[in-house]
Structure 1
Amino acid sequence: MSATKEQLVWMYRQMVLIRHYEDAIAMVYFEGKLPPKIQKGLAFDIGAGTLPGEMHLSAGQEAAAVGICAHLRQNDSVWGTHRSHHFAIAKGVPLDRMTAEIFGKVEGLCRGKGGHMHLYDPENHFASNGIVGAGIPHACGAAWAAQYRQTGAVAIAEFGEGATNQGAFHEALNLASLWKLPVIFVCQDNNYGISVSKKASTSVANIADRAAAYNMPGTTVEENDASHMFAAAGPAIDRARAGDGPSLIEVKVDRYYGHFQGDPETYRPKGEVKALKANDPILRLERQLLDSQQLSGDDVTAIRTDAKAQVDAAIAFARAGNYPDPTEVARHVFAV
């Protein structure tokens, strides 16, 4: 299945927007976390600054998100992980409200109580959480609801290769296959579970091989390429909509940042990230569009300028927002 010009351009626009967003958030994240002058006993303070706490960024993994989301309808749902900004943006989650949530402001998706790992947007059918593998059974629940209501919607579970060693992954795939649920399991293999390499933690070279144990198709997308991901996602989504059950797609992606911002990344070989960036999925698609004359150089410049403007506006919106009143601490959280 090949993407149309409109789909290719949409994927490129979204990838550029995602990358601008992640790079901008990376810069904001370090505000107030490093002392003006590094002194003995003073170092990175994860609890300080504009964005306290952990931050997991998806730069380098954009192709996985846009290749799937280019096929989705409004009522299809996506269930994400602790590293899900790319899927949220590709699914249409408003950039301003998502950013306000990351900043902990009441104008955010969850009134500032969820933070960057716990994003929830019922209008665009997107949710994420910080527990490894937890979104996989959630996707099965959404798929079962769509099947029961006969809405024609599908559910996407997106996760990293580390989650495939969790019990939730295996239980969910078994149930989805047994009930022929309209769900697509999307594994983004970036080769690291936090700091542990896949070779040291996983018994199979390709996660897609595990699909056979649950009587469903398994496909590996070897290249970190939006067009290849689009081609693999189409048949899986069509199969789900037709009532023929789930599929497992594994896509090999690259993680340009550490597991979290501030990660010293001592586990990565020297020069690894630089080598990975030589195969940047955004530049791959950009070259494809330029070579086929589906975009001009001026178009590329305009797309990049527009992405920067959107990100700048979202960050400005978040900075201008309001922190929750302390008296709201139990509101929307506990039954009181």
Structure 2
Amino acid sequence: MAATAAKAVATPVKTAKAAASRATKPARSARPATGDWSKAQEQSAYREMLLIRRFEEKAGQMYGMGLIGGFCHLYIGQEAVVVGLQMAARQGDQVITGYRDHGHMLATGMDARGVMAELTGRRGGYSRGKGGSMHMFSMEKAFFGGHGIVGAQVSLGTGLAFANAYRGDGKVSLTYFGDGAANQGQVYESFNMAALWKLPVVYVIENNKYAMGTSVNRASAQTDFSRRGLSFNIPGEQVDGMDVRAVHEAGLRAIDYARSGKGPYILEMLTYRYRGHSMSDPAKYRSKDEVQKMRTEHDPIEQSRARLLGEHDLKEDELKKVDAEIREIVNEAADFATNDPEPDAAELWTDILR
């Protein structure tokens, strides 16, 4: 009976190999080398990263005002990772991540008003005000949630990839997790299954150098996370996660590998968060000079801005206009999230599995 079950499990993967080349939806962007980005691509990346940055700054302010309760983990500094990868993905490719998830939501096209309303626990939020910062979901945008349990999304993202293989739909699961989650046991069980069945999944390890307040050097015997899949024959590479162009180029390579039926791929994004682990974290485990050095020398938005002003001859006024438009979007989202009604008490009885 076990042999029969194994055979049944392997069958959908063969289907996926045959179907991978039949994906019909066009890529979201062209596929140039890192140095050949067009002006339009740079502008799009700059705008998306700036939206995430301004949104997170506003969320931090609203948390301080008591309008957002519970946990709140900001993505400030890491914007290039999800923006670059979304530019490399196709429509329909799934995204799943951990609790530092607002940036991923916005990058997939989820509405800023709905995201902010969920943060404040309002009726217009993506989970109708019942999920909060860590638990939002959008089938329309193929966003399968932020998850509060460390590493839980890795096995779920692998399951999404299995479903893709079973259906033969040519989709790829982009499964994000951090350097801290990379030490969880279920991660390696997922690696084994994904490699064994050649599932179309890209594991994106967002290495921001600190698992909560613990440096990777103190918590991980192998600090090159791109090598974590070697015992399962999963290829991997380290990427400058502060450069959206480098992320995009690596994303194209990894997603194409997974979509073509070759199996999983690991991308270790070397990135950095400017704020603490969560809003309650004073981040005293690192120096102000360290944070300032990253902001000054490696900020992803400032790099993109410099290229727009230099290589693409944009005027300062044009960028100021973009910033004003983004601030208007974020302020409107904050106003909506502040004034939207709280969920009706009857919502306590909805979305319950029996």
- TM (norm. structure 2) is 0.87
- 72-81 or 286-295, larger mean C-alpha shift: 286-295
- What is residue 329 of structure 2 aligned with on the other side? 310
| Aligned residues of 2:78 and 2:241 also touching (Cα < 8 A) | no
Give the superposition deviation at 1:98: 1.1
Match of 1:63 among 80, 95, 98: 80
CA–CA separation in structure 1 for the residues paired with 2:313 and 2:171 = 31
| Aligned residues of 2:240 and 2:247 also touching (Cα < 8 A) | no
Match of 1:269 among 258, 270, 287: 287
Aligned length: 318
CA–CA separation in structure 2 for the residues paired with 1:260 and 1:196 = 13
- 169-178 or 269-278, larger mean C-alpha shift: 269-278
- What is residue 318 of structure 2 aligned with on the other side? 299
| Aligned residues of 1:5 and 1:294 also touching (Cα < 8 A) | no
Give the superposition deviation at 1:129: 1.1
Match of 1:160 among 173, 178, 188: 178
| Aligned residues of 2:39 and 2:312 also touching (Cα < 8 A) | no
Give the superposition deviation at 1:330: 2.9
* Amino acid across the alignment from 2:78: Q
CA–CA separation in structure 1 for the residues paired with 2:261 and 2:342 = 45
CA–CA separation in structure 1 for the residues paired with 2:154 and 2:72 = 21
Give the superposition deviation at 1:331: 1.6
CA–CA separation in structure 1 for the residues paired with 2:96 and 2:313 = 32
- 6-15 or 293-302, larger mean C-alpha shift: 293-302
Match of 1:20 among 46, 54, 62: 54
Counterpart secondary structure, 2:222: coil
Counterpart secondary structure, 2:187: helix
Match of 1:29 among 59, 63, 66: 63
Match of 1:113 among 104, 117, 130: 130
* Amino acid across the alignment from 1:319: T
Stretches of 4+ moved more than 4 A in 1? none
Give the superposition deviation at 1:7: 2.4
| Aligned residues of 2:226 and 2:267 also touching (Cα < 8 A) | yes
| Aligned residues of 2:89 and 2:252 also touching (Cα < 8 A) | no
- What is residue 341 of structure 2 aligned with on the other side? 322
CA–CA separation in structure 1 for the residues paired with 2:162 and 2:280 = 39
Give the superposition deviation at 1:272: 2.3
* Amino acid across the alignment from 1:296: K
CA–CA separation in structure 2 for the residues paired with 1:211 and 1:298 = 47
Counterpart secondary structure, 1:267: coil
Whether 1:76 aligns to 2:110 is no
- TM (norm. structure 1) is 0.91
- What is residue 16 of structure 2 aligned with on the other side? none
CA–CA separation in structure 2 for the residues paired with 1:18 and 1:125 = 18
CA–CA separation in structure 2 for the residues paired with 1:7 and 1:173 = 33
Give the superposition deviation at 1:165: 0.2
- What is residue 305 of structure 2 aligned with on the other side? 286
| Aligned residues of 1:289 and 1:295 also touching (Cα < 8 A) | yes
- What is residue 34 of structure 1 aligned with on the other side? none
Whether 1:85 aligns to 2:85 is no
Alignment RMSD (CA, Å): 1.4
- What is residue 97 of structure 1 aligned with on the other side? 114
Q: Percent of aligned positions with the same letter in both sequences?
A: 36
Counterpart secondary structure, 1:171: helix
CA–CA separation in structure 2 for the residues paired with 1:198 and 1:330 = 42
CA–CA separation in structure 1 for the residues paired with 2:353 and 2:276 = 34
Match of 2:166 among 143, 148, 152: 148
Aligned pairs for 1:174-185 (under 5 A) are 174-185=192-203
Q: Which ranges of structure 1 fall in alignment gaps of 5 or more residues?
A: 32-48
CA–CA separation in structure 1 for the residues paired with 2:325 and 2:276 = 27
Counterpart secondary structure, 2:171: coil
- What is residue 231 of structure 1 aligned with on the other side? 249
- 227-236 or 293-302, larger mean C-alpha shift: 293-302
Give the superposition deviation at 1:222: 3.6
- 69-78 or 289-298, larger mean C-alpha shift: 289-298
Whether 1:220 aligns to 2:251 is no
